[in-house]
Structure 1
């Protein structure tokens, strides 16, 4: 038995060495393909501010390109679009039997580049290659990870390795606006399931970290009404001896009461909402957009009739979103009861979105350990050497929908959230290279090399 185990260990080590050598040999090709993929402006057509008809189609071009790589690696590729032009591509490398199955997943859509004049690196979709990095919108989020996964699978084929378990690799649309029905959820509906999944979201600011949990995200608005009159009557509405609300009410004044109340709740959350894999204070109530004024005439010569604040709420993985909603509504109700106008004209809360947290718990323990071990093997003596940091993801991602469908999902990928969605987005070539080796090592370990 000891000799058999020794022979197996040597065989696995030989396979890993061959696969790592194949990744090394493919490095320049991988960098070139990454540049090509970045140069495709695959902006999500449903992203706010976009003209759908002008933008739609580029996501599909990225999926088509990646699908060719999957096919070259020996995968059976299926492509489909829930909406025309928004193609998903999934490759399946069927195992010989007996091993665990694995999904590699990533999204092809990117956010708009913003003001191109602020990009000192050049055209936001240049895909420019420098000595150590590749520039462009989507480089970090998350085309680097998609390409690293694709070339990991290609390296397995180049090394002549067959696996016992099925390996599924996915390029999906829609993630940037939670359009999961068009993307990752449609893969699940078509039957693509496995014992675990790894999504190639950028791990940073934890460099090449292993990410088993994400927060949840709520979007809501709160609207406060007022009563307009001439702005010269402000003193009458706020000073003792004036007519008060019988004359007018400035909605912005009342809205600031709500703003400050939610700010106090956010400060409480620094102590009441915590998680061991997140930095203290990570869970917040972010006032992202404020609008207000007199209806139809945005000049300051009237008392404002309305004020609307759009909030983005980051809540801990273990929290029930319905409880979070009730907590926020209770805070708004409490401040409204302290003000005569708001008691009679309560603020109106509208809940617009809940992106569920990813919290697979013990179901993801094995895949978390496997990715951590694969990283150590792949990083070698590189700057990424040593145990990977296990941390919570700062934002949200498609892991949630995989986990909720019964496929325990975590993430690991090249890139940095601090440059994602920012001007001069980039990814480091060495990081992409190391990630590709990690994915390849993971597939070997998780799906088990075949002796057939």
Structure 2
């Protein structure tokens, strides 16, 4: 390892990094809330203190909604801010480290140990709390890298960028806005939790809404009506058949995952009176998009399955299908791109282990960067099985391991002296 590499690695302040993660988790930056904006400004200030040139801007939401490729949103939003920072050298950044500040809602507080999801409780080398895994640990690792570069007093030959984005959880508006503003890079590492692997491909996910009509009647004479819940069942069975069909003949990169393209119903609402036959059922869910599949083709396959049921009532009264909310296409790192091997070497040289390549069954900002001409992959601290759960957590040793690997990657990709 070169002297400049060793200097940067030794400049990583582990206690500071852990403390920063705890402070960051304590900010309840749920998508679309004021706290999300607050955390963006905090990171902008810390990136400036680390010696970076920082661009902070208020998103023009109306303009973004009109742009081709707008990724959709699900959470109510009145404002949003972008943060992109650059340090070292001239020209296009050789590397961007990207992370999102927003988190999903907490759910039932009674399910959380200690009942406070934002307490950032540390026990046994593990930090617990909403956002600890998805993805404030990755966000903090990115900042710890640039702090170490400044502390080590190194100069980069080519620029390094850090992108802090909002609204990843409900569609990717922040990444979309960052790219639209002209912030780019030769390659990007998105520090989402990867369970010790490196993720080079994402399936997509499209939010759908179904409206299934029935016919109202008094509950005492239900045979005069048509129960929307009952006629929804053939639609649900058709969705399950489509799911099975779409998960046959899977790409090898999904080895070990029997269902990378799930279709799930997340919410169901029906009826407005206990003694009436419900005349409307509304169901919302997500449709998995296959790797390299045009989302329009995925929508068409879903609509064909939903509208093709043989039930006589449904033939005469077909369900209405709409596509609100987040619309995640798939994305992947181009085959043979050197970033994969560069990340693997950085991990091997700092942690002494070889990391596996894998693909993820969920959508992310990767597809927006890839579509914007920025080859990207995921490598970050945390186990995605804890994401969005009341047991969300991250091992602090993993946070520090990832920070070291990213620091070495930044020095090697950008060049340092």
Fold-level match, TM-score > 0.5?
A: yes
| Corresponding residue to 2:346 among 374, 383, 386 | 374
Deviation of 1:67 after TM superposition, in Å, equals 2.6
Selected match of 1:341 from 286, 300, 313: 313
User: Equivalent residue for 1:443?
Assistant: 410
The answer to whether the 8 A contact 2:231-2:314 is kept is yes
Check if 1:93 corresponds to 2:87.
yes
Task: Kindly report which structure 2 residues correspond to 1:29-428, keeping only aligned pairs within 5 A, or say none.
Answer: 29-45=16-32, 55-56=33-34, 58-82=35-59, 86-95=80-89, 101-180=94-173, 183-203=174-194, 207-234=195-222, 237=223, 247-272=224-249, 274-278=250-254, 279-293=257-271, 297-299=272-274, 301-335=275-309, 338-352=310-324, 353-362=326-335, 365-380=337-352, 386-428=353-395
8 Å contact 1:88–1:172 — kept in the other structure? yes
Q: 2:398 aligns with which of 423, 431, 435?
A: 431
Contact preservation (8 Å) 1:275, 1:316: no
Over 3 Å counting, the alpha-carbon distance change for 1:22 and 1:418 in structure 2 is same
How many Å apart are 1:259 and its aligned residue? 1.0
Return the offset for 1:174. 1.5
Please give the secondary structure, in 1, of the residue aligned with 2:155: coil
How large is the RMSD of aligned CA atoms in angstroms?
Answer: 2.0
2:332 counterpart SS class:
coil
Tell me the secondary structure at the aligned position of residue 252 of structure 2: coil
The answer to whether the Cα contact below 8 Å between 1:100 and 1:446 also exists between their aligned partners in 2 is: no
Is the 2:204–2:361 contact (alpha carbons within 8 Å) kept by the matching residues of 1?
A: no
TM-score for both structures, normalised by structure 1: 0.83
Residues 110-164 of structure 1, C-alpha deviations (whole Å, 9 max, x = no match): 1122222221145211122334022211111111001111111111222222221
Partner SS state of residue 161, structure 2: strand
After superposition, the Cα gap between the structure-2 partners of 1:263 and 1:16, relative to the gap in structure 1 and judged at 3 Å, is: same
Structure-2-length-normalised TM-score: 0.89
Answer whether contact 1:121 1:135 (CA < 8 A) is retained: no
| Separation of aligned partners in 2, 1:339 and 1:398 | 40
The change in CA–CA distance for 1:63 and 1:334 in structure 2 (over 3 A counts) is: closer
Runs of 5+ in structure 2 lacking a partner?
61-77
Structure 1 contact 211–412 (Cα < 8 Å) conserved:
yes
